[in-house]
Amino acid sequence: MLLNFFFLITETLIRQRAEHNNCEIFSLEEISLHQQEIERIEHIDKWCRDLKIVYFQNNLIPKIGGFICLTENVGRLKKLEYLNLALNNIERIENLDGCEFLKKLDLTVNFVGELTSVESLKHNVHLHELFLVGNPCCEFDGYRKFVIATLPQLKSLDGKEITRSEQIQALQDYPVVQQRVVEQQQAYILKRAKEKHVLQKNLEEKENNKLDHGQNTENKQSNSNGEDDKDQKNVDEDEMNRKFWEEPTQYTPESRLEVHRHIEKIRKFKDKDKNWNKQKPRRTLITSEGRVLNVNEPKHMDTSLLDIDVQPTYVRVMVKRKTQEMVKAKPKSTSRTRSATSTKPHPHVTRTIQDNEKLEVDPSKHLSIDLSNIVTERKSVAQGPLKFQQQKMRERNSADFQDNPEVPPLMD
């Protein structure tokens, strides 16, 4: 039998897909959950009541009703307008009458063989577009006429517009077309029942072969070392993977499930092998000679745990609120009196570092010429980009003063 586990929709997944709505799911109106290998949906009608557009294409949803069902959630979404269930394992249309405002339903490439199940969409009076292309029912003789006559509210079927004349013709031929469709549907149901029986039998044989292969592998492992066992196991897995993909099979809901189960199994096996290779070797603390090894491992510390206080006379470092080191700097002496005076140490000082001796230059040999007064400073008259200098006026009583008789005297 197939493995009995499901890929479910979780609240975390919905919040991740609701980024355009600030991860708020209660007011969410559109969500895309395609290619998630979903087989069972729960609680979506409670988390997202205002959904109008839902994308579930390319998953593993087998029914729109029953134990593994979609109607537990989607069928209760009153505001739903567009539902995309393309590329799933649906074989029957049912339990969507609760979606009162449903306008578009996409069931492309599913396994709908019961064409009469479209009658359950009669109550969806706003349904204008329906896609059933790629389903077994599309091969029935009279398929399009039957759907058009059964659902008069449709305006488009499989992307093709339904004309008024086509609708009238379908209603006129409905009794004959209905009988023909029912006969083809019964033949398809019998065919599917035989397929399921054969697939179930083949699956049981594969399970028995796996058990026998596993027992033989265990016997081989008991007679070989660990490294050879690992290599042999990898060879067996590769051989089984090659045979799985080369084996011909029919396109059925069961085969899709089997493929996804196989892919999931291979992925888990690779992840396990990858994690096994990443495991650290066991650390040796004592050598075979009995010598104890000193193992230093790098560790990181948060900078918020460090507190460094730099002062003119000392430096204090605190780690994790504990004083680790405090350094006191010796002040530079400028005279004999000051150097002779002892400096009282800081009460928190734990270790003192002496100053390095430096070469001092004799101050008497310094350049004593003052160059700051060579150029006399002139008083500026105005400030701005250009500074105008006020010329010094000659005094009347000076020796070089000459009075010009042509210049009129100043008026008081």
pLDDT by residue (tens digit) across 334-358? 444 444 444 455 454 444 444 444 4
* Assigned token pair, 370: 């003052």
d(CA 156, CA 164): 11
Give 182-186 contacts, CB < 8 A, sequence gap 24+.
182/116, 184/140, 184/141, 185/113, 185/114, 185/115, 185/116, 185/137, 185/140
How many CA atoms within 13 Å lie on the side-chain side of 41? 31
Q: Are strands 53-55 and 30-32 parallel, antiparallel or unpaired?
A: parallel
Highest mean pLDDT among 21-25, 46-50, 192-196, 293-297: 192-196
317 or 302: whose pLDDT is higher?
Answer: 317
Q: Shortest CA distance to 16 belongs to which of 6, 26, 29, 31?
A: 31
pLDDT by residue (tens digit) across 127-177? 999 999 999 999 999 999 999 999 999 999 999 999 999 999 999 999 999
Q: How confident is the model at residue 270 (pLDDT cuts 50, 70, 90)?
A: confident
pLDDT by residue (tens digit) across 48-87? 888 999 998 998 888 875 444 444 567 788 899 999 999 9
**In 10 A of CB 45, how many CB atoms?**
19
Provide CB contacts within 8 A for 210, sequence distance 6+.
none
Average pLDDT over residues 284-312: 73
pTM confidence score: 0.60
Q: How confident is the model at residue 376 (pLDDT cuts 50, 70, 90)?
A: low
